[in-house]
């Protein structure tokens, strides 16, 4: 059996969402090595220093949007996500 581990960069400015993603990966023994950037500037720094197999980015970040990291991502696939808050009746 192959022991491939994938390097993922999660770009998410919400600490609860960061913890939930890490918990999901850890609890399910998913073979991901996950780095977390909390902003566009942190993501750019991470992408300057390392290569990732995939990027998962929240659309709205405190210092920009996921689209602001496209040039830094080069050939890395990006999944852009967002949460929609809905008021409960």
Range of the domain at 69: 6-81
| In-domain check, residue 12 | yes
Question: What are 18-58's pLDDT values in tens digits?
Answer: 999 989 988 988 888 999 999 999 999 999 999 999 999 99
pTM here? 0.84
Contact 58, 65 (CB under 8 A): no
| In-domain check, residue 88 | no
Helix (H, G, I), strand (E, B) or coil at 11: strand
State mean pLDDT over 6-13.
94
Find the CATH number of the domain harbouring 58. 3.40.50.2300
Distance of CA 74 to the CA centre of its chain: 15
Question: Which regions of 1-87 does DSSP assign to beta strands (E)?
Answer: 6-11, 32-37, 54-58, 60-61, 64-65, 78-81
Q: Structurally, how many domains does the chain consist of?
A: 1
């Amino acid at each position: 059996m192959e022991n491939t581990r994938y390097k993922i960069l999660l770009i998410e400015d919400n600490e609860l969402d960061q913890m939930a993603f890490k918990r999901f990966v850890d609890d399910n023994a998913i073979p991901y090595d996950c780095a977390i950037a909390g902003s566009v500037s942190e993501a750019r720094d991470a992408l300057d220093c390392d290569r990732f197999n995939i990027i998962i980015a929240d659309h709205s970040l405190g210092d920009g949007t996921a689209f602001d990291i496209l040039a830094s991502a080069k050939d890395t696939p990006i999944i852009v996500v967002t949460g929609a808050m809905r008021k409960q009746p």
